Chains A and B, each alone.
Chain A
């Protein structure tokens, strides 16, 4: 069964910590994405990557960075976590091609205290 795996379902971190959220896909997809989901705001795109070592800013990249050293892994980094980064984080991957949808991971609920 093909899948996107996010390393943690729940995470609690302290303000100022450096936080790594990991995402791995086994479908050989070229494209990977990080979203955050907040009540009333829907899904907001943070960063995406269309190839190894390539990255593009999404709608809300401030306070985040990403790393894609291997095709199957896309990491989201919070350089210095803040309470306003408490959210549900969703990773997705997609094959290149307009008819291809996303496959999502189960999400990581991050709480910054």
Chain B
């Protein structure tokens, strides 16, 4: 079945460092891809999404490009801040199964120090 694999954390960076969190997926259909962020003690918030191959989602300085050839949706940010410390989840939605649940990766914890 469909699945999402994220790099294991924790990822520890200094402020202003470059961030990459890897995400690869397996899907039989043509999924939409999402990144969610969870700040301490809160629910998940949508960070960005891409709905077709070569689309780039972006928000708050974060970017991810939907790469069908490598089945990847890696999250990047050029210069992280302490306030970016959170858990990041990659997820997919299969268009063939509209209305059913998103499939999530296990999450990657990011810790940014000043």
Point out residues on A near B: beta carbons under 8 Å: 4, 6, 30-31, 33, 40-43, 45, 48, 50, 58, 90, 92, 94, 96-107
Give Cα A40–Cα B107 distance, bound, in whole angstroms.
9
B46, A102: Cβ atoms closer than 8 Å: yes
Task: Name the interface size band of chain B.
Answer: 20 to 34
Most chain A beta carbons < 10 A, residue from B34, B89, B102, B106: B102
Q: Does B77 contact A (CB under 8 A)?
A: no
Known: A98-B94, A100-B93, A101-B93. A41 touches B106 (CB 8 A): yes
A30, B99: Cβ atoms closer than 8 Å: yes
Within the complex, the shortest CB–CB distance from B33 to chain A, in Å, comes to 10
**What chain A residues lie within 8 Å of B95 (beta carbons)?**
98-99
Known: A98-B31, A98-B93. A50 touches B106 (CB 8 A): no
Residue of B nearest to A59 (CB): B101
Contact with A along B44-63 (1 / 0, CB 8 A): 11100101000000000000
B99, A104: Cβ atoms closer than 8 Å: no
